[in-house]
Amino acid sequence: MAPVIVRGAGARVEDVDGNTFVEYGIGLRSVTLGHAYPPVTDAVGRAIAEGVSFSRPQVRELAAAEALVAQIPGADMVKFAKNGSDAMNGAVKLARAATGRPLVARCSTQPFFSTGDWFIATTAMPAGTLPHERDATVGFGYNDLASLQAVLDHHPEQVACIVLEPASAAAEPAPGFLEGVRRLADEHGAVLVFDEMITGMRWSLHGAQHVYGVLPDLSTWGKGLGNGFAISALAGRRELMELGGLRTTEPRVFLLSTTYGAESVGLAAYLAVEHEYRAWDVVGALEERGTLVADGFTGLVDKAGLAEHVRLRGRPSCLVFETLDPAGKPSQAYRTLFLQELLERGVLAQSLVVTTAHSDDDIAWTLEAVEGALDVYGKAIEAGSTDGLLRGRPVAPALRERADPRRVGTTTGKGGA
């Protein structure tokens, strides 16, 4: 049932069959101003007309670097790329070079950091990685300082960096947690890396580090930087960043050398987005739109008597929902049923992450769809099963060891499928 998209404008998209949907999740949270936002697309169009890739630095790269360094409290220097994984991999390399240590301590209760082997080797999809990569990454829990302390004590002078999202849709930092992480990093000589891919531009123009008042040594940015256009960045303290630059007497880090890292389109998009954020209260508008969705959604869930089975979590600007079965356990089948019924009613919502373009009409449409979907969901809860209501197979987690055998065939026993 998943639609294939042809075009989008504002908070709505159209699929190949001509159906229109109000969209949430919105480019994996990368779109904050709405699809095809004219000030951004106009800036990109001007950049394209002037050529996009050059063999020497261009003026937009300097302008973007100056703007981003001014934007991020803990940044002296920045390097641009096209995806968040490259930026995070660069942070890990800088930390290892600066400390001479091998281990990465990453928050194991947060879902994703990089396509790099140092992370993927620790997931349910380690095929193609080497065993020593898994051994070089150790985990700690979010809002659990004791677990981080234990990791650092168990591996004395071996942890190069501590990697985590400062906050997420799943959890805000407990009082003193981020301050404690900062203290432990300093005490143990580890580089503190904040993944601001989601929190940057949604929690604040200046990131979660500004909201919570705790500065990392390095931070990685992407998603909302370009309102859907491809741009990411690694930013941080000069003494670390210069290890990947030219003004260092230390062995140089091959940091981020990508053909398209500083092409004009992404830079032009970022400069236009940054201008909008400074011209008006984008984050405030995201919070206001998200609060309307959250209040309406929660009211409908309560009215349906399903508060123990459908739950909303996160900041208003970054809402996600949980779908639980009759026993109160997370269920992919029940999640799929809810997604199915929302799609039937014109809402594409893997989450309820908003843009500033979600209008009152969009939100009213959404809540009407939610009410209808909850009616079907309630019937499934009463029946104790999604049988007879769910069309097709349940959606599966992205990080899983094997594909659905119903999709790829069954093993023959002779190496075939």
Model confidence band, residue 259 (pLDDT cutoffs 50, 70, 90)? confident
Return the residue matching tokens 């504002």.
10
Model confidence band, residue 135 (pLDDT cutoffs 50, 70, 90)? very high
Distance CA 81, CA 67 (A): 16
Q: Are 356 and 289 in contact (CB under 8 A)?
A: yes
Task: Give strand pairing partners of 320.
Answer: 313
pLDDT at 398 (0 to 100): 80
For residues 65-92, average pLDDT: 96
pLDDT at 417 (0 to 100): 31
Distance CA 143, CA 215 (A): 17
Model confidence band, residue 410 (pLDDT cutoffs 50, 70, 90)? very low
Closest-CA residue to 357 (of 6, 16, 27): 27
- For residue 358 the two structure tokens come to 């979600």
Closest-CA residue to 240 (of 100, 87, 79, 97): 97
**Whether residue 401 has pLDDT greater than 80:** no
**Whether residue 414 has pLDDT greater than 50:** no
For residues 168-179, average pLDDT: 95
The Cβ of residue 307 has, within 10 Å, a number of other Cβ atoms equal to: 12
6's enclosing H/E stretch is strand 5-9
Model confidence band, residue 405 (pLDDT cutoffs 50, 70, 90)? low
Q: Are 357 and 26 in contact (CB under 8 A)?
A: no
pLDDT at 176 (0 to 100): 98
- For residue 326 the two structure tokens come to 């009759």
Strands 103-107 and 347-348, how do they pair? unpaired
Distance CA 59, CA 71 (A): 18
pLDDT at 396 (0 to 100): 81
- In the chain the domains, ranked by start, together with CATH numbers, are 5-30+281-383 (3.90.1150.10), 38-279 (3.40.640.10)
- The residue with greater pLDDT, 400 or 268, is 268
Return the residue matching tokens 């290892």.
96
pLDDT tens figures, 33-55: 999 999 999 999 999 999 999 98
- The residue with greater pLDDT, 58 or 282, is 282
pLDDT at 409 (0 to 100): 43
- For residue 242 the two structure tokens come to 């210069």
- Residue 177 DSSP code: H
Rounded mean pLDDT of the chain?
Answer: 94
For residues 147-163, average pLDDT: 98
Task: Give strand pairing partners of 302.
Answer: none
For residues 379-386, average pLDDT: 97
Model confidence band, residue 261 (pLDDT cutoffs 50, 70, 90)? confident
